[in-house]
Every structure is written in structure tokens, then in C-alpha cells.
Amino acid sequence: MSSNEQVPNHLVWAILATLFCCLPLGIVSIVYASKVDGLRLSGNIAGAQEMSHKAKMWAIYAAISGPILMVLWMVFFGGMAALGSL
């Protein structure tokens, strides 16, 4: 394998997941995504593919956890507000 092989770094997805979904999980995704290009250029394609996969998975975790956390927030604190108005 050559260092010209394309390995997606998923950096844009990681940044968007950080900004709009879940900050801590998105930051983990950004860290992994930032390592992909350096590993690929150094010839470590297997390492770059592993970091790419981890960046993608953490971005997915962030994207899924964001809406779940919002729903939980509304259930617990939205319900509390409704009870407080009684």
C-alpha cells in the first residue's frame, strides 16, 4: 500500500458532532481524526485506517448521544417544570 491511498479522516463530521451534539465525545472523535493524515503520510496505512474508524465511531456516538441527552433533559427537567406549575 502506498501513502497515496485515500483514508477518510472524518474531521468535518467530528467537528459537527462536537458543535451540535455532544462536546466530550466529539472531542475524542476530533483527536482520532487529526491523527489520520499524519499516519497516512508516514506510510502507516493500517494505523490511519484504525484512527479513521475510531474517529467515525466516536462521531456516531456523539451524534446519537446528543438527541438522547436532549430527550432525557426534557423528560426530567421539563416534567419538573410542569410539576412546579401545579
Tens place of pLDDT for every residue, the chain, 86 residues? 555 789 999 999 999 999 998 889 999 999 999 999 999 999 999 999 999 999 999 999 999 998 898 888 888 887 666 666 55
| Structural domain count of the chain | 1
In a domain, 24, yes or no: yes
Give me the pLDDT at residue 74, please: 85
Residue-number span of the structural domain to which 35 is assigned: 11-84
Give me the pLDDT at residue 27, please: 96
In a domain, 1, yes or no: no
Give me the pLDDT at residue 86, please: 53
Helices (H) and strands (E) in the chain, counts: 4, 0
Instruction: Note the pTM of the prediction, 2 decimals.
Output: 0.81
In a domain, 63, yes or no: yes
Residue 84, C-beta contacts closer than 8 angstroms, at least 6 positions apart: none
Instruction: Kindly tell me the sign of the dihedral angle through the C-alpha atoms of 37, 9, 11, 56.
Output: negative
Residues 55, 9 contacting (CB under 8 angstroms): yes
Give me the pLDDT at residue 50, please: 97
In a domain, 5, yes or no: no
